[in-house]
């Protein structure tokens, strides 16, 4: 068994659980399988998490924390415009889907439909995390409008909310069909919305 520090053990369990959930889903991931894969004793699990549901909440919070760090770095790039950063965010997701055998490698896409009726705490974690992502998109949209590199109808937050919902839905449909067309269609729609201002 591998020796982990207290912080490392918790992080190791969460990282292992996220990988297992991508393949098995949350309900399909048994606690015994998680502990066997992570090579961590059962007592250690309950030292950090009071239940599997509490583990699920922590796993989602960890996912959004890491994802928001990536978003912050992405949208803080100085060598591109805000319009280019927004479009490249969508393009990267589309490219990943096309390049990795049409596999959706996103914990949120995997768990969104599964756990919302299963756990109110996990649903709240998903809702809170989505709001954080939407806030990043809102800032990028507003900054792009102020920078005059893009134009769009309505308020920035409403557009950000719509684009996030569109992209999440397109990812779910792409997962169902195992086809990139839903993502390509959503990307074309977003590109049309994020029009360059007419001089």
pLDDT attached to residue 106:
82
- Asked whether residue 97 carries a pLDDT value surpassing 90, the answer given is no
Write down the mean pLDDT value for the chain. 90
Distance CA 66, CA 62 (A): 6
What is the domain partition of the chain in residue ranges? 1-48, 56-193
CB 194, CB 150: distance < 8 Å:
yes
Dihedral sign of CA atoms 78, 84, 89, 92 in order: negative
CATH 1.10.357.10 applies to domain 56-193: yes
**pLDDT one-digit tens code per residue, 6-46:** 558 999 999 999 999 988 999 999 999 999 999 999 988 99
Residues pairing with 195 in the sheet? 151
Task: Note the pTM of the prediction, 2 decimals.
Answer: 0.87
Same fold across 1-48 and 56-193: no
Instruction: Name the 3-class secondary structure at 81.
Output: coil
Residues whose CB falls within 8 Å of the CB of residue 33, separated by 6 or more in sequence, listed in order = 20, 24
Residues pairing with 151 in the sheet? 195
CB 180, CB 174: distance < 8 Å:
yes
- Asked whether residue 1 carries a pLDDT value surpassing 50, the answer given is no
CATH 1.10.8 applies to domain 1-48: no
């Amino acid at each position: 068994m591998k020796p982990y520090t207290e912080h490392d053990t918790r992080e190791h369990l969460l990282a292992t659980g996220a990988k297992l959930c991508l393949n098995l889903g949350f309900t399909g991931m048994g606690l015994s399988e998680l502990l066997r894969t992570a090579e961590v004793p059962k007592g250690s699990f309950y030292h950090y998490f009071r239940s599997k549901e509490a583990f699920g909440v922590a796993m989602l919070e960890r996912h959004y924390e890491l994802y928001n760090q990536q978003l912050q770095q992405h949208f803080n790039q100085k060598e591109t415009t805000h319009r280019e950063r927004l479009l490249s965010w969508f393009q990267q997701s589309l490219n990943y889907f096309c390049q990795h055998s049409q596999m959706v490698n996103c914990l949120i896409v995997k768990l969104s439909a599964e756990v919302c009726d299963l756990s109110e705490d996990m649903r709240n974690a998903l809702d809170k995390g989505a709001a954080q992502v939407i806030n990043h998109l809102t800032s990028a949209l507003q900054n792009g409008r102020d920078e005059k590199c893009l134009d769009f109808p309505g308020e920035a937050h409403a557009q950000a909310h719509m684009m996030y919902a569109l992209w999440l839905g397109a990812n779910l449909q792409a997962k169902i069909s195992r086809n990139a067309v839903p993502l390509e269609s959503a990307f074309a729609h977003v590109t049309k919305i994020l029009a360059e201002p007419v001089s």
